[in-house]
Amino acid sequence: MNLAVIGLQFGDEGKGKIVDFLAERFDIVARFSGGSNAGHTVIHGGREVRFHLLPSGVLRGKIGVLGNGMVIDPAKFEEEVETLRDLGLDPDLKVSRRAHIVTGFHRMLDARDDEVIGIGTTRQGIGPAYVAKFRRIGIRAQDVLNGEILEKKLRMLARLFNLDIGEADKGGEEEAAEPWRISPELPGRR
């Protein structure tokens, strides 16, 4: 049996709690889109646990899948994995090779755009990462596994958006360059 929990708003609907409740009946819990700008909080063993990227069903020992529609901040990903390990859990996580990676460039662009436009973003780089995805110039999880491709794409983004690559390095590429943190394997995928 397959089941999808889909929200009809931008958030604050309780999707994470619903997924946590329903996860008991399934082997795999997945997120197909989104980033770390929002999140959900669930209670596990009497402790409040906050997620921004991972599906809450991983608290129940389920396989967690981050799909190709996601934009993943590697530092936030690692924080959430560490939270699970602190709870004594060893999460089985799969990340689509086609999921996009949020970098320091995206956070810089988000902050710059917010200064000019004033739309009140979270400045987490989610919007610019999706723009890069839709323009087909983004950094995907599979690119992180190849240092040459990663560097080429980072330089291309710097040039396209007139950004200083040294400044962006301060924003998180160190995390993105550690491929062991992002498992590119999805069940049944190449």
Q: What residues act catalytically?
A: 12, 40
Query: What is the rounded distance in angstroms from the CA atom of residue 54 to the CA atom of residue 111?
Result: 25
Residue keyed to tokens 């200064």: 115
> CB-based burial of residue 58 (10 Å sphere; 0-12 exposed, 13-18 middle, 19+ buried)?
buried
Query: What is the rounded distance in angstroms from the CA atom of residue 34 to the CA atom of residue 71?
Result: 6
Fill in the amino acid letter for 139.
I
Angle at 135 between CA 94 and CA 33, to 5 degrees: 30
The secondary structure of residue 163, as a DSSP letter, is: -
